[in-house]
Amino acid sequence: MLPQRPPVVILAPRIEQDVIEQDLAIAVETPAARHSTQLGRILLKNRMVLPSQLGAALAAQMLYSKKLGEVLIERQLISEEQLGDALREQLLRRRGHWVI
Burial class (CB in 10 A: 0-12, 13-18, 19+), 43: buried
96 to each of 11, 88, 99, how far by Cα in Å? 47, 13, 9
The Cα–Cα gap between 87 and 74 comes to: 17
Q: What is the mean pLDDT of residues 60-70?
A: 94
Q: How confident is the model at residue 99 (pLDDT cuts 50, 70, 90)?
A: confident
- In the structure, what pLDDT confidence band is assigned to residue 23 with cuts at 50, 70 and 90? very low
Count of Cβ atoms closer than 10 Å to residue 54 Cβ = 19
At 20, the pLDDT band (50, 70, 90 cuts) reads very low
Rounded to the nearest integer, the mean pLDDT of the chain is 79
Count of other CB atoms within 10 angstroms of residue 89: 19
